[in-house]
Every structure is written in C-alpha cells, then in structure tokens.
Chain A
Amino acid sequence: MPPRLNLWPTCRALAFRTRPANQWSQPCIAARARSFADRTSNNNNNNNTTSSQWPEHRNADIAAGLPPSMLSKSTTPEEIDAAGFTSTENEKALSQLQLVTYGLNPFDPAVDGHKYGLPDLPLPSEMHMKHRYDPAIVQFTKLLMQDGKLSKAQRDMAIILNYLRSSPPPKINPARPLVPGSPPASHLPLDPVSYLTLAIDSVAPLIRIRAYKGLAGGGASLDVPMPLAARQRRRTAFQWILDAVNKKKSKGSGRTMFPHRVAEEIVAVVEGRSSVWDKRHIVHKLGTSARANLNHQAFRRR
C-alpha cells in the first residue's frame, strides 16, 4: 500500500512559542513556589496588588505546619505592609529562614526548588518500597502467614515486636550460648528486630540430615549431613518455634493471643528455656554421627 499523503506531520516542525522559554530562569525559593493545591488565579491576574501576596504567605505558613494562632497574627496584609515585608529581599530572607526551620541549609544548591531537599544518593535499601522491612523480618512474617493473609501476618509481627520491646531484658543462660558478638541483654528490648533475629539465628541448625533411600544396602537409607544456607537455617528455626508455639496452651482469646505466644517462645529461646534448643542439639548430634557416611562409595569421585 502506498503511504497516505498527509499534511499533519509537517506541522511538527513548526514551533509556536507564546511566551519566552526561560520563564523559570530566576532561582526560585522553595517556600515561594506554588504547590498543587494553590489557586493559580492569584499569580496570573492581580500580580501587582498587595492583596494577592498574603494568600501566598498563608499557604507557605500552612505548608510549614504553623499553628493557626500564629497564622492569624502575622499574615494580614496591613501588618505586612507596616513591617515593610513586601520587598523582594525581605521575602527571600524570610523564605531562607523558613528553610532553616526545616533543618536545611538555604544556600545549598540541592535545596533550591525542593521542599525537603534532595535525598542522598545512592538511596538506602529501605527506601525502596519492596525492601522497606528488614529481610529477616520479611521472611518470618511470611512464615507466620496463613491462607495468604499477609497483612494479618504483618500485624501479628508488629505485635510480636511490641511485646519484645515491652518485656524485661532476658536473663541469658550461659549453657545456651547465643550467636557470638550479640549485644548485651539490656540492649535487646529497645531493638526488637535484632532481638528477634538474634533469637532465631542462635537456634538455627547448621545442617540438615538428608536420607538417601536404599544406599546403605538392604533397603536401608543412608543419612548424610548437608549444609544449610543462611535463609534455610532461619526458616528451619522459625518453623521449629512455630511448632513449639502450636503445642503450647492458649491462655487467652482475641487476635493478640497468637503473636503473644510466639513472642513468649522467642523470649524463652533467648533465655535458653525453649525445647527448640533440644531439637537443634539432636540434629547436630545426628549430623556428627552421620558425617562418616560422606565417605560412602556413592559420594566418592571417580
């Protein structure tokens, strides 16, 4: 098919400019910049009268979150005139002061035109929407989840963390040592995320036992220890904890009961009272005895 003849594409080459292109060439100060909610008519129609200037101030003040009492005091147009605030230098100085109240340096070039300045690059990982929670916490939350109800699991996790930070500092049992380099017990409650991670990491098993069916001869299976990755170790430990929680008696009712039981078990883990420690011990013992099987014929390299 031959291409259609059309005049319109030629119009693209034409440029209509009704106003000068460099309208924003002057440096604009953040507090004076118009926000989306402001009325545009004030700026365009009566730019020269003094009455048009006070709504701008008011908007800036509202944006700054000043109390209404202070608003009404300072922004009537008569008072502004009386104080001689209408000169541009004064406005500039005022807006720079405003930036100082935000905790920003008004002379920083990055601040210019941004209400809260530009963020430092590269962005920290928790600024990303999908990575805003601690990775360990995300993993535990998804293990808590039932029937795909993630937000319920997230609320449960928040209750667990709140329980941890309002419970007394744990008494650590020297027979059940935690992960080396852990903070002292008194520091744990105010940092519940590391409290929880520390508890899980401390009881996490290093290995799992893999049974090769029939390899031992006579239909017997051959147990071989396999190393676990960090994420797998945490998963195993948290599932052990959930098993222990499900065996516990429920003392109350309501939606906070389950997270409270989980949190109690986590405190029990850190204090060395939990039965999860025995599970870990058994797995490690089995692994120690089964490591001889690694020399089995089937695993030798030919």
Chain B
Amino acid sequence: MSAPNCLRCLLQLRPSVALPRHLLVARSTAAIAIAWTAPFSTTTANNAKTGGGGSKDKTGGHIRAGKKIKLGKFKKNTTADRGKAPAPGERKAFRKKILLSNNNALPVPGLVDLTPEHMLDPQNAATVLSIPDAVVDQLRAVEAFKPTQCWGVFRKPSMLLRTETIDLMNRMKGAAKQKQTLRLVVTGDRITGKSMLLLQAMTHAFLNDWIVVNIPEGQELTTASTEYAAIPGSDPVRYMQQTYVLKLIQAIRKANEKVLSKLSTVQSHPELPQHIPVGSPLMQLANSAKEADNAWMIFQALWQELTARGRPPMLFALDGLSHIMKVSDYRSPAFELIHAHDLALVRLFVESLGGAGAFPNGGAVLAATSRGNSPRAPSMELALQQREAEQAKAADVPQPDPFFRGYDERVQAALRTVQVLKLSGISKLEARVLMEYWAASGILRTTVDESAVSEKWTLGGNGVVGEMERAALLTMRL
C-alpha cells in the first residue's frame, strides 16, 4: 500500500511551499503554523495556488496517487450517437398504432358490408362480412380496435360472424326492445376472440344508432397512471379521474355524433359553469368539456341526459374486467390503497353491470375479461364460475375456498346477477370460412381444403381463433 503523503517531505520537515509567507517569520512558530495550515494537505485549493508541483498530472507534486485501476480499458464505446431522441409519447404512439388496411392484399370478391339485419340472422352464422367505413371511424373513435389484432394484413376490416356473435346480438336486441339492460361478461381462454366480440357488439350498436360508451382498457383506470382527485363533499370519499373523463367525453362525442346531434337537453344543469338551458343541443353540452377541471361535472350531466327517458338504447362496454375488480394502485390522503370501486367512473360501470343503475331506455352493459394481461382476481373468477354453473343448471356450483382469505365481497356483490358468455374455439365450418377469406385476400397461400382447415384448426388448439391466426398468418412459412 502506498502512503498518501510523500515520505521525503515528512523527513525533511520542510514547510510546504503552499504556506503563506507571513507565517514564516519565526522558526519557532513554524511547527504551529504547519499544524494549523496542514502543509501536507491534499486539497485542491493549495494545489491550485502552487501550480501543481512538477508532476504531469494535476494531483500535486508530492502526493503519490495510489495505483488506479482503469476499468473497461479495452471495451469499445459501442453507444453511437443516434441523434434526437423521440418526443414524449411518440414511442407509445408507435406501440399503439393501429393499421386497418393493406393495399397489397387482394380485394375479396363478394364481400358485402354489414347491415343491421346481418348480425341478427342465424343464417349468417359462419360468414365473413366487412365493416362499413362510417362504422370503422366510429369504432376507431371509441378505441375498439386493438393493436394486437390482425387488421393491418387485410384490405378492409372484416369479421367473422360466429354463432356466439349472432346469439349475443339477438340478446342485445331483445333487451333493447323490452327496455331492459343486458348485463353480461364475456369470458374464455386466451385469444378466443373476447375483445373481438365486444367490437362486434359495438358494431351492432353503431349500426342500430345506439349510444356507445367504451372504456377500452380497464387497467388505464386503476394502475395509477392517470390523475385523480377526491370528489368534494362525497361521503364515503369517491375519486374522480378528470383527465381520463375528458378523453372519454371527447370519444363519446366523436363516436356518437350522428345520434347526439339529433338530441337536446331535457334537464337544466345549474351546477355547470357554462349555462346550458333546457332544449339546447346535446352536442353543446359535450363540447363544453374543454379542460380537465370540470370534466367530471360535465360527464355527470351528460350521463343524466343520456339516461333520461326517450333516448336511444345505450351500450356501455369495458375490456379487461379483472383490473377493476381489485384494489387499485391509487392511494388516499391517509396513504391507504383505494379500492377500484371507490373510483367514480369505475363505480358507474360496476353499478351498471351489477344492475343498480339500469338504463331506462334499455341497452347492454358488456365486460370482457382478459387473459394476457390481467391481475389475479379470485373473487371475480369464482363469481364467473358460479354464474356459469348456475346458467348451465349444473348440480354442483363452485364454492369459495374456506381456507383462502383473499376474496373481496364488493366484487362478489357486483357480479351476483350478471350473465356469462364463455367463448372457446370456432367450429370447423367457421374455420373454413375464415380461411377461405384469408386465401381470397392473398394472405394465406395454400389451397383451402378439408385437410388444410383441419390442420390449422388442430394447430390452433381446436379452433382458438388467435392461435389459428398465429399458425397461418403470423408465421415464417408464408
């Protein structure tokens, strides 16, 4: 080990050159002066005054630096300068980008646009039909398309009508006719088409001039990624998410412009900052939401107007149910975690799904579970299994595990009366129709015969649509 100070200096007891001149008057005082000014100091201040000794490095002449190990001496600097970094939000925008058409794909002959009647007729099960352009814009506005779906490969957004689709559309129509609310949870294995079924329900609603309110991802509301604030005067305390609600109002306005432009307000809303008299167009109310500050108040007024008597039926949909059936990541002022059902917007959905806030004009409240990205929600899973068993009139309904403490009573109460639609694989006939559509688009380059259909159907885990897409479209064997 090397000494921090130069031994030669210590032996000669030579005052450092750094010593100020006025302290060198008497030899007797030198020792004190030395002690006082710390002549062997390694401070950079002294070093700077003396001009750094005779050594090349700037650590000082008489200071022997320890052996320094230079790490990574032979490592090349591989990080090249890549210019300007992407702007905030740009990277996420790339990730969430949705392409809906591919001009290289062939136009499919005989492909017709959907009409309201198409989705109700059982004869149309196992047919592929395309979505009209106006509806595509509306669906885009409510963010019904997901980036993981294969829209960008085909010429025009088209979808397969499954037997479950026709079934659900008929139930929605029946409920709206009787001014009742269909409350249903779509569940099923991974990539069996749950979000797609929600999209089809929204398409049906848009085609029939319903009002559509869609929450595209439940997790955006509960992962503490958007602003929140306590609603003043609420007891027990509820929380509003103004920024998200503002975005939601804008989506509602954009998607439902055709319907909303014909409607006008029937109630006065004195609590709103902007005066909106009775009888003014509903678009004016929706347009008054410009800033996040009063967005929640305007949303409440809009909701009252939309659920007033004499309005068209409404579809309220949410994807990723398990995210709102748990304790959220938000914290109260006392730093306790907030239950998701205490967030006002989530509460509105949960009450509608649970049957507390029925729509007087009829409609549907649909939720879809997600298997790819979902936190474990034991109460929700149990409740859905129970409802499924009850619907099937099974002899043994699943019972809660008596040795498990993680159940949530609020979740069980919310899901006590919902209907459950469980999706699984498509039939071989539907698979054949779908593959014929792929082949007609020039995307699947094989003959679609019985063996090809059977192969993909089997590779896709007995007709799980997403797996079939992976096996046929997203493969290296094209």
Can you name the residue of chain A whose Cβ is closest to the Cβ of B93? Answer: A252
Given A116-B450, A251-B86: A162 in contact with B91 (beta carbons within 8 A): no
Interface centre among A141, A190, A192, by most chain B C-beta atoms within 10 angstroms, is A190
A161 / chain B contacts, CB cutoff of 8 Å: 476, 478
Q: 8 Å CB contacts to B: which residues of A225-266?
A: 247-254, 256-257
Number of interface residues of A (CB under 8 A): 42
Judged by a CB distance under 8 angstroms, whether A81 is at the interface is: no
Q: 8 Å CB contacts to B: which residues of A28-81?
A: 64-68
Report Cα–Cα, A248/B81, bound state, in Å. Answer: 9
B453/A65 in contact, CB under 8 A: yes
Q: A253's contact among B82, B84, B94, B125, by CB below 8 Å, is which? A: B94
A247 / chain B contacts, CB cutoff of 8 Å: 80, 82
B103 / chain A contacts, CB cutoff of 8 Å: 168
B104 to chain A, nearest CB (A): 4
Report Cα–Cα, A247/B477, bound state, in Å. Answer: 29
Judged by a CB distance under 8 angstroms, whether B225 is at the interface is: no
Q: 8 Å CB contacts to A: which residues of B64-117?
A: 80, 82-86, 90-95, 99, 102-105
Main secondary structure of the interface of B (DSSP, over half): loop
Given A157-B476, A166-B99: A253 in contact with B92 (beta carbons within 8 A): yes
B473 / chain A contacts, CB cutoff of 8 Å: 162
Q: A254's contact among B95, B453, B475, by CB below 8 Å, is which? A: B95
Report Cα–Cα, A166/B104, bound state, in Å. Answer: 6
Q: 8 Å CB contacts to B: which residues of A161-206?
A: 161-162, 165-169, 189-193
Report Cα–Cα, A190/B105, bound state, in Å. Answer: 7
Q: A65's contact among B95, B152, B432, B442, by CB below 8 Å, is which? A: B432
Report Cα–Cα, A102/B428, bound state, in Å. Answer: 13
A222 to chain B, nearest CB (A): 27
Q: A190's contact among B86, B104, B451, by CB below 8 Å, is which? A: B104
Q: B153's contact among A132, A133, A162, by CB below 8 Å, is which? A: A162
B82/A249 in contact, CB under 8 A: yes
Contact size range, B: 35 or more
Judged by a CB distance under 8 angstroms, whether A278 is at the interface is: no
B476 / chain A contacts, CB cutoff of 8 Å: 133-134, 137, 141, 154, 157-158, 161
Judged by a CB distance under 8 angstroms, whether A101 is at the interface is: yes
A192 / chain B contacts, CB cutoff of 8 Å: 478
Report Cα–Cα, A126/B477, bound state, in Å. Answer: 9
A256 / chain B contacts, CB cutoff of 8 Å: 95
Report Cα–Cα, A161/B476, bound state, in Å. Answer: 7
Q: 8 Å CB contacts to A: which residues of B139-192?
A: 152-153
Given A157-B476, A158-B476, A166-B153: A251 in contact with B94 (beta carbons within 8 A): yes
Q: B104's contact among A64, A155, A165, A248, by CB below 8 Å, is which? A: A165
Can you name the residue of chain A whose Cβ is closest to the Cβ of B148? Answer: A256
Report Cα–Cα, A63/B341, bound state, in Å. Answer: 48
A252 / chain B contacts, CB cutoff of 8 Å: 86, 90-95
B82/A248 in contact, CB under 8 A: yes
Interface string of A122-143 (1 = CB under 8 A from B): 0000100000111001000100
Q: B442's contact among A155, A158, A190, A250, by CB below 8 Å, is which? A: A190
Report Cα–Cα, A158/B67, bound state, in Å. Answer: 53
A168 / chain B contacts, CB cutoff of 8 Å: 103-104
Judged by a CB distance under 8 angstroms, whether B284 is at the interface is: no
Report Cα–Cα, A134/B82, bound state, in Å. Answer: 34
Judged by a CB distance under 8 angstroms, whether A20 is at the interface is: no
Report Cα–Cα, A250/B442, bound state, in Å. Answer: 31
B95/A169 in contact, CB under 8 A: no
B475/A158 in contact, CB under 8 A: yes
Can you name the residue of chain B whose Cβ is closest to the Cβ of A186? Answer: B104
Q: B477's contact among A68, A133, A166, A167, by CB below 8 Å, is which? A: A133
A253 / chain B contacts, CB cutoff of 8 Å: 91-92, 94-95
Can you name the residue of chain A whose Cβ is closest to the Cβ of B432? Answer: A65
Judged by a CB distance under 8 angstroms, whether A103 is at the interface is: yes
A132/B477 in contact, CB under 8 A: yes
Can you name the residue of chain A whose Cβ is closest to the Cβ of B96? Answer: A254
Report Cα–Cα, A249/B91, bound state, in Å. Answer: 12
B450/A65 in contact, CB under 8 A: yes
B174 to chain A, nearest CB (A): 21
A133 / chain B contacts, CB cutoff of 8 Å: 476-477
Q: B427's contact among A67, A167, A248, by CB below 8 Å, is which? A: A67
B83 / chain A contacts, CB cutoff of 8 Å: 249
Report Cα–Cα, A251/B432, bound state, in Å. Answer: 39
A251 to chain B, nearest CB (A): 6
B94 / chain A contacts, CB cutoff of 8 Å: 251-254, 257
Can you name the residue of chain B whose Cβ is closest to the Cβ of A188? Answer: B104
A103 / chain B contacts, CB cutoff of 8 Å: 449-450
Interface centre among B92, B99, B105, B478, by most chain A C-beta atoms within 10 angstroms, is B478
Can you name the residue of chain B whose Cβ is closest to the Cβ of A138? Answer: B476
Report Cα–Cα, A211/B336, bound state, in Å. Answer: 70
Given A154-B476, A251-B86, A252-B86: A116 in contact with B104 (beta carbons within 8 A): no
A67/B92 in contact, CB under 8 A: no
Q: List 15 A-B contacts (CB under 8 A).
A: A64-B450, A65-B431, A66-B429, A67-B427, A132-B477, A137-B476, A158-B474, A159-B474, A161-B478, A168-B103, A189-B104, A193-B478, A249-B84, A250-B91, A254-B95
* Other A-B pairs, 4, CB within 8 Å; known A137-B476, A162-B153: A67-B125, A132-B477, A166-B99, A251-B91
User: When A and B form their complex, which 10 residue pairs have the shortest distance between CB atoms, in order from nearest?
Assistant: A252-B94, A65-B428, A254-B95, A249-B82, A189-B104, A253-B91, A166-B102, A116-B451, A102-B450, A252-B91
